[in-house]
């Protein structure tokens, strides 16, 4: 990973980034830079858009900061591993946490699925996208994870590519070493879907459908039952360490 400047303020902008370009600031971005970070015209920040890498930019404006002058590229664009976080959504703050941590752990896409025991009927995907961007801004991430619209679990399973590895985290699975199970598991070169269920677990009919998937690895996350948001972090860490981009042999 190229050297990252952890001290410089960092901002996501939905605009093309090239040397010499001027990018207009939205009102909330202007307020954040001027009133929260206390920056002034002439100060520099880092900007990214998920496509063109990371750039140094100079803030401009007199009474109100209103634009960025794009200067030089500091890091080229990278690619996230082909890793999808598939989860039964939670309520409010815990969903915010789950989304932020999935982004920090390197998920390239977030797919909410509705199961029999899912406790949330409606999902605010715009809020999820805002949390994706905030996590990327704070953690030096260059790519923006995709946020998919919620769909029933069975619908997701019917549409997913058959050659993708499905890591099914099941609290009812036999307790074995999950890291070893992943290392001995199926080929992840066509992408990985990590599935975390709701607080009430999966229904038996859902388990039956899941176990019919052609490339599935049923995984225990240890001898303790974890909350859904904790299970997500644990599962993503295991997958990244065993077969993802922490392992040094990930498929992009």
Tens-digit pLDDT profile for residues 89-143: 998 899 999 999 999 999 999 999 999 999 887 899 999 999 999 999 999 999 9
How far is the C-alpha of 235 from the C-alpha of 214, rounded, in Å? Answer: 20
Tens-digit pLDDT profile for residues 10-55: 999 999 999 999 999 999 999 999 999 999 999 999 999 999 999 9
Q: Where are the domains of the chain?
A: 10-75, 83-242
DSSP one-letter code for 42: T
Asked whether the beta carbons of 69 and 57 are under 8 A apart, the reply is yes
Degrees to nearest 5, angle at CA 113 with 107 and 118: 120
Which CATH topology does 83-242 take? Alpha/beta knot (3.40.1280)
CATH superfamily of 10-75: Hypothetical PUA domain-like; domain 1 (2.40.240.20)
pTM (2 d.p.): 0.92
Confidence label for 3 from pLDDT (cuts 50, 70 and 90) = low
Burial of 73 (0-12, 13-18, 19+ CB in 10 A): middle
What lies within 8 Å, CB to CB, of 91 at 6+ separation is: 119, 120
> 127-162 in b/e burial notation, b at 16+ Cβ within 10 A?
ebbebbbebbbeebbbbbbebeebeebeebbeebee
């Amino acid at each position: 990973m190229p050297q990252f400047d952890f001290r410089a303020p960092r901002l996501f902008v939905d605009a093309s980034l090239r040397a010499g370009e001027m990018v207009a600031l939205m009102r909330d971005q202007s307020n954040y830079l001027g009133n929260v970070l206390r920056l002034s015209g002439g100060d520099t920040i880092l900007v990214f858009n998920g496509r063109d890498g990371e750039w140094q930019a100079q803030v401009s404006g007199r009474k109100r900061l209103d634009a960025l002058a794009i200067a030089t590229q500091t890091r080229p664009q990278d690619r996230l591993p082909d890793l999808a976080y598939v989860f039964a959504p939670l309520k409010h703050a815990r969903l915010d946490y789950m989304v932020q941590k999935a982004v920090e752990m390197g998920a390239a896409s977030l797919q909410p699925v509705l199961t029999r025991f899912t406790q949330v009927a409606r999902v605010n995907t715009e809020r999820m996208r805002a949390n994706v961007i905030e996590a990327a801004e704070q953690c030096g991430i260059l790519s923006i994870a995709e946020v998919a619209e919620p769909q029933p679990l069975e619908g997701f399973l019917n549409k997913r590519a058959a050659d993708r590895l499905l890591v099914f985290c099941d609290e009812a699975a036999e307790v074995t070493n999950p890291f070893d199970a992943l290392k001995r598991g199926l080929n992840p070169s066509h992408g990985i879907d990590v599935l975390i269920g709701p607080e009430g677990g999966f229904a038996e009919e859902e388990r039956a459908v899941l176990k019919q998937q052609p490339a599935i690895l049923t995984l225990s996350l240890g001898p303790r039952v974890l909350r859904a948001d904790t299970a997500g972090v644990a599962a993503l860490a295991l997958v990244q360490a065993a077969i993802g981009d922490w392992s040094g042999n990930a498929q992009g």
